[in-house]
Chains A and B, each alone.
Chain A
């Protein structure tokens, strides 16, 4: 990881979390999101609450375990984030 890439914006972290859930087939447990998005437990809790509040994911319970499911809004966010990242990169901006 380069010095430039060390800092991740809040939106980048949200995107990374959503991407992990998407790669898991649209549903993922907290541990998988924590490792996949490289977060501390405290930050994971905070960002999960924020993603739920924004309607990008929803919390469901299955076999007594909490899992997080990507919503349609979450899928749209991933697509838009990728588009805008490409747009920024086209101007030589590193996000």
Chain B
């Protein structure tokens, strides 16, 4: 894959993921209005934060990509302050989002606020090992929780949520352990993960139709 194609694909996956997250957030808000269940607020907040963080991260990626593609000499993108700031923001929002989504889906949440939040005093390097591992574990926990619901036959759609978050977890793990193709593989896994969530919402919208 050429540099141009990679930048376009990377930005596409980021924006697709962001818009899907915002769509799920909108559905959570509708669910809250009808079900009046406070867990839906946490779900709404989680997906809203996730979507906005990805939109900002995507916009920063596009800005850097345009600079690179226009031939402006730039140092390794990973070390640019803007990229580090964007990644730190994306990491913080994803961490908050996954924690909120996990809190919404479990009955008695552990005190994650104190145990999971790492120090964010300095901007992180893009695809930092520890931060990606942390996000991968959180996404995996959400996948397991939804998977339990699916295995107990409570909802067939829980299978899509479980698969979606398993793929999101895989995308974070790929950034930790992946080889040369890790960025593209992680982008593909994330794209498929959000496609599962989008498909779940579309299936929900057809219930009773």
Of all chain A residues, the one with the shortest Cβ separation from B162 is A92
Residues of A within 8 A of B200 (CB): 90
When C-beta atoms are compared, the residue in chain A nearest to B39 turns out to be: A93
Residue in B27, B101, B155, B205 whose CB lies within 8 Å of A89? B155
For B153-169 the 0/1 string (1 means CB < 8 A from A) is 01101101100000000
Q: How many residues of A contact B (CB 8 A)?
A: 22
Interface stretch, picked from A47-55, A65-73, A78-86, is: A78-86
Query: Chain B interface mostly helix, strand, loop or mixed?
Result: helix
CA separation between A70 and B201, bound complex, in Å?
28
Q: Are B34 and A91 closer than 8 Å at their CB atoms? A: no
Distance, CA A77 to CA B158, complexed state (A): 23
Verify B36–A87 contact, CB threshold 8 A. Answer: no
Q: Does B104 contact A (CB under 8 A)?
A: yes
Contact B34 A86 (CB under 8 A): no
Contact in complex: A86, B207 (CB < 8 Å): yes
The CA of A9 and the CA of B39, in the complex, are separated in Å by 13
Q: In the assembled complex, which residues on chain A have CB atoms less than 8 Å from the CB atom of B161?
A: 90-92
